[in-house]
Amino acid sequence: MNNNLKTVILLGALSGLLLFIGKSIGGSQGLFIAFLFSLLMNGYAYFFSDKIVLRMYNAKPLDQQRYAGIYQMVAELCRTMNIPTPKLWIIDNPSANAFATGRNPSHASVAFTSSILQLLDERELRGVVAHELSHVKNRDTLISTIAVVIATTISYLAQMLQYSAMWQTNSQDGQRRSNPLSLLVLAIITPFIASLLQLAISRSREYMADETGAHVCHDPLALASALEKLHTHIAPAGTTTQATTSSLFIVHPFRTSTITEWFATHPPLRKRVERLRRMAQNKNI
């Protein structure tokens, strides 16, 4: 399934959730408002979703003098992949991670947390950069970033459902609303459904970016080593990383158990590392 079709399906499903929440909150009037809001948000997200995400993390341009080596590394890999050089950003965050965003290769950005630049050596960082540039080349960044914006909106609207469950019982047109218990259940399950929709497409994207990145840098073991390091340096709960943006990052930014990893937006890290090591053994690069 190509990314254009994935985008249509994902936006349609997430927008449908928005409409459903709107009807649950405000009846027929809420449905109409949610429909207009969905149209406006989809258009806005297409053009500005990357800026929204970067602003969420207070990203700053990566200093070109201090990090000249990274700029040179990115430019070299971009020439190899035949894509424009993206803008580079740094995020002050204790979690070692990175992500790419932007609606197409000509409007792409790659963001690094301050921790990842301290943790990885040059070879490992090159593997991470190749992975993120693969997302740009494969045009994964549009669908993932728009999904983040809509999922974040759904999360906020779910909070409104909780208030509706507490304070509203009848619609303005005199029709009975859903009972408070139903609204409370919806407030819990709608963000979960939004996360599952992100999960449905993000895992295959990560495997593809791992493989493409390993081919580009001709060093799958470098990326494997980087992933293992990043996995052991996941920041504790309560940091500034937001759950609705987790699908953007190269590794899942929260610790998962054997059960919860089934619902994570990333495939199990051990499987990603195993695939990269098999590539190295088979010299499939």
pLDDT for residue 234: 76
**d(C-alpha 194, C-alpha 148), whole Å:** 9
Q: Domain spans of the chain?
A: 3-281
The CA-CA-CA angle for residues 152, 153, 159, to 5°, reads 95
Q: Are 267 and 231 in contact (CB under 8 A)?
A: no
Residue 238 pLDDT class (50, 70, 90 cuts): very low
pLDDT for residue 176: 45
Mean pLDDT, range 251-255, rounded to an integer: 78
**d(C-alpha 276, C-alpha 272), whole Å:** 6
79 or 159, which is more confident? 79
pLDDT for residue 137: 92
Give the pTM: 0.76
132 among known catalytic residues: yes
pLDDT for residue 212: 92
**d(C-alpha 266, C-alpha 208), whole Å:** 12
218 or 31, which is more confident? 218
Q: Which range is least confidently modeled, 34-43, 94-103, 175-184?
A: 175-184
Residue 131 pLDDT class (50, 70, 90 cuts): very high
Neighbours of 228 (CB within 10 A): 16
Half-sphere exposure of 269 (CA within 13 A, CB side): 21
Q: Are 12 and 188 in contact (CB under 8 A)?
A: no
Instruction: Write out the chain in H/E/C secondary structure.
Output: CCHHHHHHHHHHHHHHHHHHHHHHHHHHHHHHHHHHHHHHHHHHHHHHHHHHHHHHCCCEECCCCCCHHHHHHHHHHHHHHCCCCCEEEEECCCCCCEEEECCCHHHCEEEEEHHHHHHCCHHHHHHHHHHHHHHHHCCHHHHHHHHHHHHHHHHHHHHHHHHHHHHCCECCCCCECCCHHHHHHHHHHHHHHHHHHHHHHHHHHHHHHHHHHHHHHCCHHHHHHHHHHHHHCCCCCCCCCCHHHHHHECCCCCCCCCCHHHHCCCCCHHHHHHHHHHHHHCCCC
pLDDT for residue 4: 57
Q: Which residues pair with 12 in a beta bridge?
A: none
94 or 12, which is more confident? 94
Q: Which of 32-41, 95-104, 119-128, 131-140 has the highest mean pLDDT?
A: 119-128
Residue 249 has phi, psi (to 5 degrees) of -75, 160
**d(C-alpha 34, C-alpha 28), whole Å:** 10
Catalytic residue among 76, 122, 124, 132: 132
157 or 279, which is more confident? 279
Quick: pLDDT tens for 34-74. 777 767 776 777 788 789 889 999 999 999 999 999 999 99
Mean pLDDT, range 165-179, rounded to an integer: 50
